[in-house]
Structure 1
Amino acid sequence: MLTSDFDYHLPPELIASEPLAERSASRMMVLHRKEGRIEHRMFREIGEYISREAGDMLVLNDTRVVPARYFTNQGYEVLRLNPLTPTRWRCMVKPGKKFRLGHTVPIGEATGTVVEIMEDNGDRIIEFDRVVDESKHGHLALPHYMGRDDQPADRERYQTVFARSEGSIAAPTAGLHFTPDVLAPLPHTFVTLHVGVGTFQPVKVENIADHKMHSEVYEVSEATAQAVQTAKRVIPVGTTALRTLETVARDHGKVIATQGSTDIFIHPGFDFRVAGGLLTNFHLPKSTLIMLVSAFAGKELVMQAYEEAIRERYRFFSYGDCMLIV
């Protein structure tokens, strides 16, 4: 299949650059796979589709977004991909010519030095003489399509209410709709997958089979493994939770307690072993995420649903509305 098969035209005013005043006030498109039927509901009505008595189990990603975007004292950009230690970071930098080997990188009171340049992708290893003050100099790396820098309010709103384990650059956005009151009565459990910068990377190849996915670390607890094994229908909340579960089932035959890293690329033709439903946001054209959703619900139905979402003026992307696929 071609990357262009997953393209669609989105009017720019439908991109949600700000969150709604209330998390659970989002709209929710419900996609019924077997009947090819579409419903228009509100997210707060999700309890009508999830039943403890029927053996349903929501699986959410409890990763916590960390401030990963920094600016040097000269205004150059540093995106921390991985803190190898508190003072040794693997980073993407901009502009690259200002971060040559041996160049100093001052951020506030801390002074870093470029000690290594990765040959495969140009990432820099920067060693600092002290810990950089994250609370003073760190920014959330909001997606580029929001067209704005992070604001203080994003520290709370670009974070799920159940976020626990620090390590993500981007939020698992399907979880942003939940409030404690909405989540509490629903059967649920958690996995952890730390969302990396690759979630923002476009697919640059013409044939999707040639695309190489980024790798992200995950963890599944014993309690979660038991909850998933005994559930009659597992409904991942977001593509990150789904990718975690399907990776573990692929590698071990079923969902067990484990940890590791995954670069699984789910596109049409994939054999799902775990997911029986999916809650997800509306994704960018030609992205690996819309390919994953198309694999789960069928490309033709998904593209039809996106056309209808545009007609009905749904809000798209990270701070936008959601789709429940059953």
Structure 2
Amino acid sequence: MKDKVTIAGALIFAILTSAFVSYARAQTVLIEAEGFENHGGWVVDQQFMDQMGSPFLLAHGLGRPVEDAATTMTLPTVGKYRVWVRTRDWVAPWKAPGAPGKFQLLVNGVPLATVFGTEGAAWHWQDGGTIRVAGSPITLALHDLTGFEGRCDAIVFSADDFTPPNDIEQIKAFRRKLIGLPGEPQDAGNFELVVVGGGMAGTCTAISAARLGLQVALIQNRPVLGGNNSSEVRVHLNGQINLPPYPALGDVVKELDTGLRGNAQPAGNYDDQKKLRVVRAEKNLRLFLNMHAFEVEKVGDRIGAVIARNIENGTELRFAAPLFADCTGDGNLGHLAGADYRMGREGRGQTGESLAPEKS
């Protein structure tokens, strides 16, 4: 009888503990910075998603504090919450003083006592202390203090002693659960060619293939096309095109070119909208902006599908096709597929080029 009571008691304790854990997690709220309703002067940076698990908001003000990013959110209950902000001191790897990426988190217009971006070389959850919330919804704002690349990935409000995980795989599971993302990516559609990367190379590739009759998907992890020739980077188009033996090579480039020269000029010189208009006019071409390709599925030694994640809301799409073009700036798709690569300049003996260095 005693054993039965003990077993029953243990079972009741397990059920209560399980309920408490579920309830405790229900009292934990995750806010992705890139999902803020108003980014203000902060920009979404997706360059390090593969290393740290997420895009983040960046205060790129060239030394002038940028306008606040702001959003509203609803907490499950009123009361006390501990606040965590995922950030880093981006100059800490070089032991540089000053923490130039400092920023504050404002809750209902009141800054927390903690100044963020002041510690830790690696991405981590910086403790923002506890606050008492009297009502909901509340407003949040990221207030840049320097204009020198402050970084905010996400914010957590927790009503218990929960500390968010720092392990990259645990963070992925944590995010997926709290945001409610589906376990599998959605099907993006049927394509004959998937082009990854919407710089000038990828944009021209996608347009040319679509005009040849292929059903094309163009995946770009920024809100604009053009890469270096966009208003985000501002490098003008230049180069030798329409030359023999391929006199038509360059026609698409000319369609997209504004004819204006000079780097670091006003945004209008690079005419992001013109590129978008040309691409969207192609009936065989579907454009997927703000989508970052982060995973490949292989069939034997060939790529069978690419998985891409939206850099603002985290939704994932699966792109299957018989052909893929890696037009990313750094050969990301090839790397994900396990292709051989090398870094640095080849030696003269490897290429036979007279102008190559003698040694690689």
Same fold (TM over 0.5): no
TM-score (norm 2): 0.23
Structure with the bigger RCO (C-alpha within 8 Å, sep 6+) is 1
